[in-house]
């Protein structure tokens, strides 16, 4: 038996599914997950010492590559000063100033420890600010696992959601309306029916949790216009896209000004930092300033903030995002060329340092397109690449990520491995 399998068997004795987050269990691709014990630059090494080129990048945070020397030095210096105080620190002011400088729509920001906390808090704040209960989200988008967001579309069109997880009472999800992504008309209809009862619309402007799916400009503009008209708040979830698709995130590419933004992943550089922020008048409703309660023992943890701050400073270097986008585009074009040469139906897309690969004739425009992808073929591709030392996300419903440590030689090695894999699965 191999070491990863032995570790997986042992892990399942004391950890549900052997993992601390479901996607890591390789359930949708099959086989034993790789137990990683170190990483550097674009590489991971598993428990057997096998090296992989990493396109998960911890699901987005590792935009500088693993264990960037300057980031590690900042973390080590913070550790020397203390692991956690549960008190205010100057570093929290510094990272708040960086965030509000980089993302102009964020006038004030509150740090939390996960994207889930950011989403849960942003929705509570929107409900508190507007005095309304109803929330609109979109099928295929994920904003963390807080109860009111674990919801699937209602049985009929424009009917309120049903729980998508056990343990979530229907009374919680009955305020959440799940609409079709990239369907402006449905938004018009929903606001026509419930406009003045809607607290917020929450959206991934570039969706990354049904693989990468681009929101259309019309879709985003429609929700901004309708929220403004009806006094609802627009929450753009930039946990994945923030500082990743562009320095200023998806909102900078769409030219949209959210009322609230969620941040995570890159903001912590791999350590537990996330945030929500936006209009000052809205943020002033958060405790201790206002009546909307929100708190966290490790919010703004000094070691995690040091990691995030060092990351945010380094990605602001001139040309960083242009170069990251160039490398990511080189990857997806190389993969598409390799698939075409092998005669495998495949497409790919990228926005900044985020990409999608699809066993579909063209990039999906919404959830129903994504569901038509050839999942068995993806699974064969996944394992063919894993065997050749390339680690993609173990699910066809996940986006991929490139770091600035993925240089052309690493990208070209990936494409060479893909050429062999596509030839292998073409039959």
The SS3 call for residue 43 is strand
Cβ 229 to ligand KE4, closest distance in Å?
A: 26
CB-based closest residue to ligand KE4: 115
Least Å distance, CB 143 to ligand KE4, is 5
Q: From the CB of 1, what's the least distance to ligand KE4, in Å?
A: 26
Cβ proximity to ligand KE4: between 239 and 245 the closer is: 239
Backbone CA torsion sign across 351, 357, 358, 361: positive
Query: Ramachandran region of residue 49, left (φ > 0), alpha (ψ -120 to 50) or beta?
Result: left
The minimum distance between CB 115 and ligand KE4, in angstroms, equals 2
Extract the tokens encoding 288: 């201790």
SS (H, E, C) 257-308: CCCEEEECHHHHECECCEEEEECHHHHCCECCCCCECCCCCCCCCHHHHHHH
Which residues lie near ligand KE4 (CB under 6 A)? 21, 23, 59, 114-116, 119, 142-144, 204, 208-209, 237, 239-240, 264, 274, 398
Q: Any idea which residue has 């985020």 for tokens?
A: 354
Q: Which residue number, 209 or 421, has a Cβ lying nearer to ligand KE4?
A: 209
Minimal CA–CA distance to 11: which of 3, 2, 1, 19?
A: 19
Nearer to ligand KE4, 150 or 331 (CB): 150
CB crowding 92-112: b at 16 or more within 10 Å, else e: beebbebbeebbebbebbbbb
Q: Which is nearer to ligand KE4, 137 or 224 (CB)?
A: 137
User: 274, 264 in Cβ contact below 8 A?
Assistant: yes
Residue with tokens 């791999």: 270
**CB 194 to ligand KE4: min, Å:** 24
Phi, psi of 395 (to 5 degrees): -165, 140
Residue numbers annotated as active site: 142, 237, 265
Indicate the residue among 178 and 239 with the shorter CB distance to ligand KE4. Answer: 239
- Among positive and negative, which fits the CA dihedral 110, 283, 286, 161? negative
């Amino acid at each position: 038996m191999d070491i990863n399998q032995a570790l997986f068997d042992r892990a399942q004795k004391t950890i549900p599914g052997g993992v601390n987050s479901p996607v890591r269990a390789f359930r949708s691709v099959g086989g034993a997950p790789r137990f990683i014990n170190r990483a550097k630059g674009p590489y991971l090494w598993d428990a057997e010492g096998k090296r992989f080129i990493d396109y998960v990048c911890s699901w987005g945070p590792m935009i500088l590559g693993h264990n960037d020397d300057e980031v590690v030095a900042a973390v080590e210096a913070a550790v020397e000063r203390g692991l956690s105080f549960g008190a205010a620190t100057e570093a929290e002011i510094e990272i708040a100033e960086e965030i509000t400088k980089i993302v102009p729509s964020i006038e004030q920001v509150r740090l939390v420890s996960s994207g889930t906390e950011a989403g849960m808090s942003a929705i509570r704040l929107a409900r508190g600010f507007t005095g309304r209960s109803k929330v609109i989200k979109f099928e295929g988008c994920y904003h963390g696992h807080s109860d009111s967001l674990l919801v699937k579309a209602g049985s009929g069109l424009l009917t309120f959601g049903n729980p998508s997880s056990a343990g979530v009472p229907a009374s919680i999800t009955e305020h959440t309306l799940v609409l079709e992504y990239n369907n402006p008309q449905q938004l018009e209809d929903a606001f026509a029916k419930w406009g003045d009862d809607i607290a917020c619309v929450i959206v991934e402007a570039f969706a990354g949790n049904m693989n990468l799916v681009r929101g259309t400009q019309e879709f985003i503009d429609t929700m901004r216009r309708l929220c403004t008209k009806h006094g609802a708040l627009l929450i753009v979830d930039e946990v994945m896209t923030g500082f990743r698709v562009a320095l200023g995130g998806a909102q900078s590419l769409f030219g949209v000004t959210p009322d609230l933004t969620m941040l995570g992943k890159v903001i912590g550089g791999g350590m537990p930092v996330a945030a929500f922020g936006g209009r000052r008048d809205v943020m002033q409703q958060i405790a201790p300033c206002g009546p909307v309660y929100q708190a966290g023992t490790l919010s703004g943890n000094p070691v995690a903030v040091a990691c995030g701050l060092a990351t945010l400073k380094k990605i602001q270097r001139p040309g960083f995002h242009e170069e990251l986008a160039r490398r990511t585009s080189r990857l997806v074009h190389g993969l598409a060329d390799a698939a075409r040469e092998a005669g495998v139906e495949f497409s790919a897309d990228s926005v900044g340092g985020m990409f999608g690969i699809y066993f579909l004739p063209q990039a999906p425009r919404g959830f129903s397109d994504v569901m038509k992808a050839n999942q068995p073929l993806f699974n064969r591709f996944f394992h063919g690449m894993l065997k050749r030392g390339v680690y993609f996300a173990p699910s066809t419903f996940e986006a991929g990520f490139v770091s600035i440590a993925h240089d052309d030689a690493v990208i070209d090695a990936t494409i060479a491995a893909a050429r062999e894999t596509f030839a292998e699965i073409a039959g």
